Copies of this chain bind each other. A is one copy, B any other.
């Protein structure tokens, strides 16, 4: 472990060169964020502000972090999951773009225990942040629970995930939220891209890297048919699987059915599934009794934010043996003699076993993150009152981000003519 107090704690600084190339690779696939970097590095809107983040330390996050820095911010960062940090990337971030040590404050390595996890977060809070940037809301919860006095000095925050936003809304409704938070997840250019196409592909990627099994012809069970679950189901189908969906929400179940998936309760799905992925944001989706009813050789994983969707404690209780059979793939031999395989110990398989969402979708998600923090700083500087609640980014922003994205992809679209603009709101025209 390489540790320099107040600056970084990462696994191995010698990995920095490899990490730097990964970051460059990501930069080449994130044109929207790079364009915003170019623009705002001139005006330095974050000059004098400290942005603290807690979000998977991947090559894409590195592009966000270095963009924030390029636009003037002082940045401190921790990973938001014990198994999602890429050690080469964290090393490169610590040493900075030129490898000369002019990096950002970063505390992150792959394979942490809970104590490590909070130690890292706490280090990023040491100097009070002006804004916080979350993925799963652990940083913001930590500030509220362990450093409540700091909330009043914080201008605002942002949250990346469905799960996190869901919880922050509950907290706000309860009057417990200490500062305003932008629901970056709820921007259309985030949830309708990152969650669907990003989670879809990267989950398949994670499963393949950890198991290398043929997807075609498999009964592929997806728990949850929200944006993430739909993305996973769509891609599993695209790889030739027969997809089964479990749900608790009737409208989602119906959509899955009309999309050609089979719908059934987990109790039944457990018996016929070959591969299982949970994407619900809920705990205890696959429990001891489900594991016991599975077929020999079933593969089970989770792509939801927290590692609570698979109840591995119950699995351990009904197992007589467990061993790692390959990276990110643990074989449990159950008391009934059957074996099941759990990938990435129930943590998000796309980040632990693969590289998380592709750069191309993080490009838009992180453009929204950048914009959220710009909005917080602007409101602050304009002296605007912001309620301590969960805020939405303006919808125009989605069109702006999407327009840049299309442009960078070399695609152009139509524009309304003047007459069409008039027609759009002319309620007198009829049949």
**Which positions in A face B, CB cutoff 8 Å?**
18, 21-22, 24-25, 28-29, 80-82, 114, 117, 136-138, 141, 145, 167-168, 170-171, 174, 176, 188-189, 192-193, 197-198, 200-201, 204-205, 208-209, 211-217, 235, 237-242, 246-251, 253-255, 257-266, 282-284, 295, 297, 306-308, 325-326, 329, 339, 354-355, 358-361, 398-399, 402-403, 405-406, 409-417, 419-420, 423-431
Q: Look across to chain B and name the residue whose beta carbon is closest to the beta carbon of A266.
A: B414
* Shortest beta-carbon distance from A388 to chain B in Å: 14
User: A117 touches which one: B117, B209, B431 (CB < 8 A)?
Assistant: B431
A414 lies within 8 A of B247 (CB): yes
B212 lies within 8 A of A354 (CB): yes
B205 lies within 8 A of A405 (CB): no
Known: A284-B417, A358-B213, A398-B251. A430 touches B201 (CB 8 A): no
Q: List 10 A-B contacts (CB under 8 A).
A: A25-B211, A137-B430, A216-B260, A217-B409, A235-B240, A248-B414, A248-B415, A249-B399, A250-B398, A284-B419
Q: How many copies does the complex hold?
A: 4
B246 lies within 8 A of A260 (CB): no
User: A306 touches which one: B170, B282, B431 (CB < 8 A)?
Assistant: B431
B238 lies within 8 A of A431 (CB): no
* Shortest beta-carbon distance from A266 to chain B in Å: 6
Q: Look across to chain B and name the residue whose beta carbon is closest to the beta carbon of A262.
A: B242
List B contacts of A398 (CB < 8 A).
Answer: 250-251
B28 lies within 8 A of A297 (CB): yes
User: A214 touches which one: B214, B361, B416, B419 (CB < 8 A)?
Assistant: B361
A240 lies within 8 A of B259 (CB): yes
B420 lies within 8 A of A284 (CB): yes
B264 lies within 8 A of A212 (CB): no
Give Cα A138 to B431, complex, Å.
Answer: 7
B260 lies within 8 A of A241 (CB): yes
Give Cα A423 to B306, complex, Å.
Answer: 12
Give Cα A25 to B210, complex, Å.
Answer: 11
* Shortest beta-carbon distance from A329 to chain B in Å: 8
Q: Look across to chain B and name the residue whose beta carbon is closest to the beta carbon of A347.
A: B431
A250 lies within 8 A of B419 (CB): no
User: A413 touches which one: B253, B259, B429 (CB < 8 A)?
Assistant: B253
* Shortest beta-carbon distance from A47 to chain B in Å: 31
